[in-house]
Chain A
Amino acid sequence: MAGGPDTRALPTAWIAMDSGVNIQDALDALETYKKKDASKVVVRFKAVGNAPIMKQNLYKITASNRFQAVIQFLRKELGWKAGDPLFTYINLAFAPAPDDTVSNLYKSFATEGHLIVNYSTTAAWG
């Protein structure tokens, strides 16, 4: 791979001379971005309205989990049956997409080191 002194940030259409090597490098890079984030973040559950309060409301959750997994965990902790209504929000403001990862939500919305997840039995800020 040429990294000579006259290599400049040319428009990409001009570069990629050795495309075979190029693709492999790119695929290797993609693999590193695919690695699951094994770190854990602290999620704080807060009840809203008539929802039951949890005695233990701070949990460490693996960052690569999807928000859907957080919802399922919460349902289990509350002893909710399938079909029981449960609405979840971040920062009393919005319901994230269920396929958002905890990691992404934490990076964007953490407050004082916690990702605050509000839960309610009725639609609140939906």
Chain B
Amino acid sequence: MIPIVGLVVGIVLGLVFQPAIPLGLQPYVPIAIIAALDAVVGALRALSEERFDDRVFVISFLSNVLIAAFMVYLGDQLGVGAQLSTGVIVVLGIRIFANAAAIRRRYLHA
């Protein structure tokens, strides 16, 4: 219940305020979003398998975001920012798809 409330409140706040993302954060936000999405889809899968834990979700969410942001930062420092962020997005995308596939198998048996 609380996550759904959080979801709605977040969307509404984003739509209402429409803040400009600070320049320094701009490269990190898209990657962080993908990483967070990965954590959320993972949590949905855990939920479907009835082994969801808030603590695990919070930690994986935060660590995912931090690691993703750090990798982008590192890539920028090494001069391979574009490639590394592409790599990070590919890996996270694969995980998101895989988790979604697991959920799909459980509920749709397909």
A and B found bound together: no
